[in-house]
Homo-oligomer: A and B are copies of this chain.
Amino acid sequence: MGSEDKIISWLCRLTVITAFFFIGFIIGEFFYFYRSMYIIICNFTRLPHLAGSQQNLDLAKQIRAEWMEFGLDSVELVPYDMLLSYPNKTNPNYISIVDHLGNEIFNTSLAEPVPEGYEDVTDIVPPYSAFSAKGQPEDELVYVNYGRTEDFFKLERELGINCSGKIVIARYGKIFRGNKVKNAMLAGAKGIVLFSDPADYCADGVEPYPDGWNLPGGGAQRGNVLNLNGAGDPLTPGYPAKEYTYRSSLEDAVGLPKIPVHPIGYHDAVHLLQHMGGPLPPDNWKGALNISYRIGPGFMDGLNQNKVRMNIHTNNQVTRIYNVIGWIRGAVEPDRYVILGGHRDAWVFGGIDPVSGAAVVHESVRAAGKLMKKGWRPRRTLIFASWDAEEFGLLGSTEWAEDHARVLQERAVAYINADSAIEGMYTLRVDCTPSLHTLVYDITKKVSSPEDGEEGMTLYQSWHKRDNSTERDAPWISKLGSGSDFEAYFIRLGIASGRARYTKNRKTEHYSSYPVYHSVYETYEIVERFYDPSFRRLEAVARVRGGLIFSLADSPVLPLDCVEYAMSLTKYANSIYQLALKHPAAMEQYSVSFDSLFSAVENFTVAARDFHQRLDQLDTSNALAVRMVNDQLMYLERAFTDPLGLPGRPFYRHIIFAPSSHNKYAGESFPGIYDALFDIENAVDPQKAWDEVKRQISIAAFTVNTAAETLRPVVS
């Protein structure tokens, strides 16, 4: 069979070479058509697309029809019936100042001023905190800065202020709003008001929308205030919210706040904050409202004992939502899935969030369809997802992950997220699993810089110039946190994941997120006039996201880099060790050692290096041999998950990465150890607390060792 072998081997090598060439072609040339994205954004932002609304179902149907037309093999609407939350249309939410007679002497706005051109749009949901408890608590107000754990520590431990039974007011920013609400509940507050301070939602020298892209004083940030910890639909944790699924009672639901919550803009906030009593705040708590500051408790207006009253009538209700799922069957390995997913639902128009991202998905489908019409079909199966109800707690994507957990765990190679593609005008931002670092760099080297005056420069060069890593000579890439739809895929199921977007200068622009985030001012115009007039930044982001999925779907050997994972693990182990070393006496007293973790990281490093050395010798003409190493690469991320989950967070199963317990948006490495160490100097039972640290080190060491095992030769 010698001569046949040679022919086959040659043909297989040719296929490999062709595939690599083809990926270059796709990234370099094909996405020219991404310039049509502005049409998509314009079209998708005409109406509000709140999850559960008729408009959002209509948009789902439109997307299904267009994806079919583009040429996908199949497209389906996948419904789930989940707990959503809406304001009561006849009984609006607001906050009042009430005097000692009970008169409401000031009420916050019931809606944001609607931007020009959208005056006739109906069904704009007013600013609200989704899943807020109903209620009309009335009491003195305490200002809690950002409502972070450390802010409440300062209040309780340094300023001696007890929030129990009070209403608290926190400014938006720094952390996920759900964590602020959780902290307020833990402090015993009976309600929480959230406001956007100009210090956090206005950039220097920029005008409020529509003259610039800053948040106007009448704008406010919508958003859910859940603490789901990855559970998905609050009534069906762990299982998809199908028609037949058992639903828990509201009392047993996961993550619902027990207190009223409401968001306001800074024009309204001034009224609540400007005459408070209590001590002076620390300087860095003052924000940018031009008022005299006190923290509370107490709301004193001259001699009057004014108080604050929250009037919250928001309803939770089980509502049908729709994901749109499109498939391209893989030609060679149809049972290997590469997923590009982003949400469709928006708080209002969603110009940035999510439409700038949804347009990337839509254009990727169009590009894939065009390629297919030329005879192309990816080696692996491509899945495109338009998620619903992301704004309500990543619900659509999480339910689909729950629904298909078994096949995804068996078959999913990677998940690339496509939420907002642009949140700033400075450079690229990438958060991804370490094994994708190299591919991200390779792809950005094939994409042109979208910036004026950088003709001939690659995106990599442009990005590198603006945001160099502190650790090596390459652009900065972050850990994945949460706050978007990759969560269930990465943190729960252990599927290699990444996200890319255009961002602000994180070293000089200190406002939170982007100023108009989740307000009515997220329009098509804000993108077209300010963020990306040429749409070349969006095109660059699209090329990165598209390049990732096409490379992952088409490369004969999966372009995942285990050595990068080893480097990251080394960094994280050092970092958590340094954190523990802040307690040298306790480390000594309780015999706490990180040796097992460092040893495991070393084992992983050796296994990763050896794996890639063997990969260099791989006979790529041997289909089964290629499949075997690809399985090892695919399952590496899975190996970092533990079915037992993190303490108290059963759906966060990744032992290396989890959303911070103090800020869902941020990623924490070795989260089990981190949480065990948190505030340990104040532990009631230090022996028990340090035992938990030791247990978590042991779990982390075992997990890293077991991941190393998956990379070793498959037979002992």
Closest to A336 in B: B714
Q: Per a CB cutoff under 8 Å, which of B11, B411, B695 touches A714? A: B411
Inter-chain CA distance A76–B716, complex, in Å, is 9
In the complex, the answer to whether B596 meets A244 with C-beta atoms within 8 Å is: yes
Residues of B within 8 A of A327 (CB): 715-716
Q: Which chain A residues in 238-267 approach chain B with CB under 8 Å? A: 238-240, 242, 244-246, 248
Inter-chain CA distance A596–B74, complex, in Å, is 27
Residues of B within 8 A of A248 (CB): 695
Inter-chain CA distance A661–B1, complex, in Å, is 58
CB 8 Å contact bits of A547-571 with B (1 = contact, 0 = none): 0000000000000000000000000
In the complex, the answer to whether B244 meets A698 with C-beta atoms within 8 Å is: yes
CB 8 Å contact bits of A576-604 with B (1 = contact, 0 = none): 00000000000000000001100100000
Asked whether any CB of chain B lies closer than 8 Å to the CB of A334, the reply is: yes
Asked whether any CB of chain B lies closer than 8 Å to the CB of A501, the reply is: no
Inter-chain CA distance A327–B714, complex, in Å, is 11
Q: Which of A329, A624, A632 has the most CB of B within 10 A?
A: A624
**Known A410-B710, A709-B407: A74·B624 in contact at CB below 8 Å:** no
Q: Which of A242, A245, A406, A691 has the most CB of B within 10 A?
A: A406
Residues of B within 8 A of A381 (CB): 714-715
Closest to A698 in B: B246
Asked whether any CB of chain B lies closer than 8 Å to the CB of A360, the reply is: no
In the complex, the answer to whether A624 meets B1 with C-beta atoms within 8 Å is: no
In the complex, the answer to whether A239 meets B698 with C-beta atoms within 8 Å is: yes
Asked whether any CB of chain B lies closer than 8 Å to the CB of A212, the reply is: no
Q: Per a CB cutoff under 8 Å, which of B11, B624, B706 touches A332? A: B624
In the complex, the answer to whether A707 meets B406 with C-beta atoms within 8 Å is: yes
In the complex, the answer to whether B1 meets A11 with C-beta atoms within 8 Å is: yes
In the complex, the answer to whether A406 meets B715 with C-beta atoms within 8 Å is: no
Inter-chain CA distance A710–B335, complex, in Å, is 10
CB 8 Å contact bits of A224-244 with B (1 = contact, 0 = none): 000000000000001110101
Residues of B within 8 A of A245 (CB): 698, 702
Q: Per a CB cutoff under 8 Å, which of B406, B599, B714 touches A710? A: B406
**Known A7-B1, A709-B404: A628·B714 in contact at CB below 8 Å:** no
Q: How many residues of A contact B (CB 8 A)?
A: 64
Inter-chain CA distance A595–B245, complex, in Å, is 12
Asked whether any CB of chain B lies closer than 8 Å to the CB of A647, the reply is: no
Closest to A638 in B: B406
In the complex, the answer to whether B706 meets A406 with C-beta atoms within 8 Å is: yes
Q: Per a CB cutoff under 8 Å, which of B7, B73, B239, B642 touches A702? A: B239
Closest to A701 in B: B244
Asked whether any CB of chain B lies closer than 8 Å to the CB of A333, the reply is: yes
Q: Smallest distance from the beta carbon of A248 to chain B beta carbons, Å?
A: 8
Asked whether any CB of chain B lies closer than 8 Å to the CB of A631, the reply is: yes
Inter-chain CA distance A639–B599, complex, in Å, is 34
Asked whether any CB of chain B lies closer than 8 Å to the CB of A24, the reply is: no
Q: Which of A403, A410, A698, A716 has the most CB of B within 10 A?
A: A716
Q: Which chain A residues in 679-700 approach chain B with CB under 8 Å? A: 691, 694-695, 697-699
Asked whether any CB of chain B lies closer than 8 Å to the CB of A643, the reply is: yes
Asked whether any CB of chain B lies closer than 8 Å to the CB of A67, the reply is: no
In the complex, the answer to whether B246 meets A695 with C-beta atoms within 8 Å is: yes
Q: Smallest distance from the beta carbon of A547 to chain B beta carbons, Å?
A: 23
Residues of B within 8 A of A206 (CB): none
Inter-chain CA distance A631–B697, complex, in Å, is 34
Asked whether any CB of chain B lies closer than 8 Å to the CB of A623, the reply is: yes
In the complex, the answer to whether B334 meets A706 with C-beta atoms within 8 Å is: no
Closest to A622 in B: B623
Inter-chain CA distance A642–B334, complex, in Å, is 25
In the complex, the answer to whether A238 meets B406 with C-beta atoms within 8 Å is: no
Q: Per a CB cutoff under 8 Å, which of B653, B695, B715 touches A329? A: B715
Q: Smallest distance from the beta carbon of A674 to chain B beta carbons, Å?
A: 17
Q: Smallest distance from the beta carbon of A615 to chain B beta carbons, Å?
A: 15
Inter-chain CA distance A715–B325, complex, in Å, is 12
Inter-chain CA distance A1–B14, complex, in Å, is 14
Inter-chain CA distance A653–B701, complex, in Å, is 24
CB 8 Å contact bits of A295-334 with B (1 = contact, 0 = none): 0000000000000000000000000000001010110111
In the complex, the answer to whether A639 meets B707 with C-beta atoms within 8 Å is: no
Q: Which of A1, A244, A627 has the most CB of B within 10 A?
A: A244
Asked whether any CB of chain B lies closer than 8 Å to the CB of A114, the reply is: no
Inter-chain CA distance A503–B599, complex, in Å, is 49
In the complex, the answer to whether B406 meets A73 with C-beta atoms within 8 Å is: no
Asked whether any CB of chain B lies closer than 8 Å to the CB of A425, the reply is: no
Inter-chain CA distance A245–B697, complex, in Å, is 9
Residues of B within 8 A of A329 (CB): 715
CB 8 Å contact bits of A398-437 with B (1 = contact, 0 = none): 0000011111001100000000000000000000000000
In the complex, the answer to whether B335 meets A407 with C-beta atoms within 8 Å is: no
Q: Per a CB cutoff under 8 Å, which of B7, B599, B714 touches A334? A: B714
In the complex, the answer to whether A714 meets B335 with C-beta atoms within 8 Å is: yes
In the complex, the answer to whether B650 meets A644 with C-beta atoms within 8 Å is: yes
Asked whether any CB of chain B lies closer than 8 Å to the CB of A186, the reply is: no
Asked whether any CB of chain B lies closer than 8 Å to the CB of A8, the reply is: yes
Q: Which chain A residues in 35-53 approach chain B with CB under 8 Å? A: none
CB 8 Å contact bits of A149-161 with B (1 = contact, 0 = none): 0000000000000
In the complex, the answer to whether A239 meets B407 with C-beta atoms within 8 Å is: no
Asked whether any CB of chain B lies closer than 8 Å to the CB of A460, the reply is: no
Inter-chain CA distance A638–B332, complex, in Å, is 24
Asked whether any CB of chain B lies closer than 8 Å to the CB of A4, the reply is: yes
Residues of B within 8 A of A172 (CB): none
Residues of B within 8 A of A74 (CB): 715-716
Closest to A4 in B: B4
Smallest CB-CB A-B distances: 6 pairs: A246-B698, A643-B643, A244-B596, A335-B714, A246-B695, A329-B715
13 contacts between A and B (CB under 8 A): A4-B4, A4-B7, A4-B8, A239-B699, A239-B702, A246-B691, A332-B624, A335-B631, A406-B638, A407-B709, A410-B710, A624-B624, A644-B650
